[in-house]
């Protein structure tokens, strides 16, 4: 079985005009680092679960992406991070919701996956992480000036009831990975700060299994990004898995259909998907999605805008 890994770093109105050449280079480099981290696991015969974990750790550590270091702020000027991971072989799943403290929220989710729980929230989740030796960072670890300024701009816009003309990429974002390993098992991992200026307590699609994160060897592994409320209301990831199982659609057809349908009702975003034969789909219904794949040849392929061919 040829192993493959796909990643994303968020989707939205990512415009060439507002991107500097330096930023573009940095985004590609960040994606490549994450692809190489996950590929190292797969190339050594490791599991899809470990590969998606390592890829997402790399993306969380990169301040360019909205997860871990670089996560967006709530309207209260705080951080509430969500992360989820799921294993297709046995449908083991773990998610943390609205946490602050663990350096890598995806490692917190991974610890939940290894426990009797599936989803832990807030203070209880943070205590669980302490009890389970999940590494912590100072509370300011997610901070970046760019995200703080994005919050101030958003709060000012709301005060003036002005139209929202921001790049989606400044408003939200997410990181995620899906993989198929040489043993034919698949897994998915997703991590996010959510939406800039989100209400404290707001939960997006990322930690909701069947919405933003899903993995089942019998269908597909999925990590989504975009306007989370839509992905939850339409159970986007699970819907794709159902189409594959009940209608016999391929991962490409099923995921394209769902993402297109979400776009038609205002749910901007995209996702990455893989099946247990290593077929990959990277559909999105907006101007761009930070994305990349790496297969057996070990060559990291990355893309940002819609007009670029899929990597």
Residues that bind ligand ASP (CB under 6 A): 10, 172-174, 192, 194-195, 204-206, 212, 225-226, 228
**Which CB, 166 or 183, lies closer to ligand ASP?**
166
Q: Is 246 buried (19+), middle (13-18) or exposed (0-12) by CB count in 10 A?
A: exposed
**Which CB, 176 or 295, lies closer to ligand ASP?**
176
**Least distance to ligand ASP from the beta carbon of 206, Å?**
6
**Marked catalytic residue, from 53, 78, 165, 174:** 174
Contacts of 5 (CB under 8 A, 6+ apart): 35, 38, 39, 42, 51, 52, 55, 177, 178, 179, 293, 294, 295
Strands 119-121, 93-99: pairing kind = parallel
C-beta neighbour count of 309 within 10 angstroms = 6
Residue with tokens 């079985």: 1
How far from 299 is each of 5, 221, 236, 249, 283, CA to CA, in Å? 11, 22, 30, 29, 21
**Least distance to ligand ASP from the beta carbon of 192, Å?**
5
Give, in degrees to the nearest 5, the angle at Cα 207 between 203 and 209.
Answer: 120
**Least distance to ligand ASP from the beta carbon of 254, Å?**
20
Least Cα distance to 193 among 114, 98, 267, 303 occurs for 98
**Least distance to ligand ASP from the beta carbon of 268, Å?**
9
**Which CB, 3 or 284, lies closer to ligand ASP?**
284
Give, in degrees to the nearest 5, the angle at Cα 235 between 230 and 240.
Answer: 115
The yes-or-no answer on residue 144 being catalytic is no
**Least distance to ligand ASP from the beta carbon of 284, Å?**
11
Give, in degrees to the nearest 5, the angle at Cα 293 between 292 and 295.
Answer: 160
State the Cα–Cα distance between residues 301 and 164, nearest whole angstrom: 33
**Least distance to ligand ASP from the beta carbon of 174, Å?**
3
**Which CB, 53 or 196, lies closer to ligand ASP?**
196
Contacts of 17 (CB under 8 A, 6+ apart): none
**Which CB, 174 or 302, lies closer to ligand ASP?**
174
Token output for 214: 């899903």
**Which CB, 53 or 192, lies closer to ligand ASP?**
192
Which positions are catalytic? 174
């Amino acid at each position: 079985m040829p192993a493959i890994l796909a990643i994303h770093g968020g989707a939205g109105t990512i415009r060439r005009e507002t991107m500097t050449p330096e930023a573009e280079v940095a985004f590609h480099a960040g994606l490549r680092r994450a692809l190489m981290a996950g590929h190292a696991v797969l190339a050594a015969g490791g599991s899809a679960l470990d590969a998606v974990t390592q890829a997402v750790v790399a993306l969380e550590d990169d301040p360019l992406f909205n997860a871990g270091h670089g996560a967006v702020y709530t309207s209260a000027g705080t951080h509430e991070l969500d992360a989820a991971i799921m294993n297709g072989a046995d449908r083991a799943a773990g998610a943390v919701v609205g946490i602050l403290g663990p350096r890598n929220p995806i490692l917190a989710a991974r610890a939940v996956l290894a426990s009797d729980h599936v989803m832990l929230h807030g203070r209880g989740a943070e205590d669980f992480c302490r009890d389970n030796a999940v590494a912590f960072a100072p509370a300011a670890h997610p901070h970046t000036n760019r995200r703080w300024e994005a919050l101030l701009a958003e709060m000012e816009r709301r005060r003036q009831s002005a139209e929202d003309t921001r790049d989606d990429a400044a408003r939200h974002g997410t990181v995620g990975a899906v993989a198929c390993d040489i043993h034919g098992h698949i897994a998915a991992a997703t991590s996010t700060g959510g939406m800039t200026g989100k209400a404290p307590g707001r939960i997006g699609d990322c930690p909701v299994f069947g919405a933003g994160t899903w993995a089942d060897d019998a269908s597909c592994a999925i990590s989504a990004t975009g306007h989370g409320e839509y992905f939850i209301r339409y159970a986007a990831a699970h819907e794709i898995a159902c189409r594959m199982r009940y209608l016999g659609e391929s991962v490409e057809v099923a995921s394209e259909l769902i993402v297109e349908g979400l776009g038609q009702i205002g749910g901007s975003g995209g996702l990455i998907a893989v099946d247990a034969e290593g077929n990959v789909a990277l559909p999105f219904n907006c101007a761009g999605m930070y994305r990349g794949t790496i297969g057996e040849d070990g060559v990291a392929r990355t893309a940002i805008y819609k007009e670029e061919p899929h990597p």
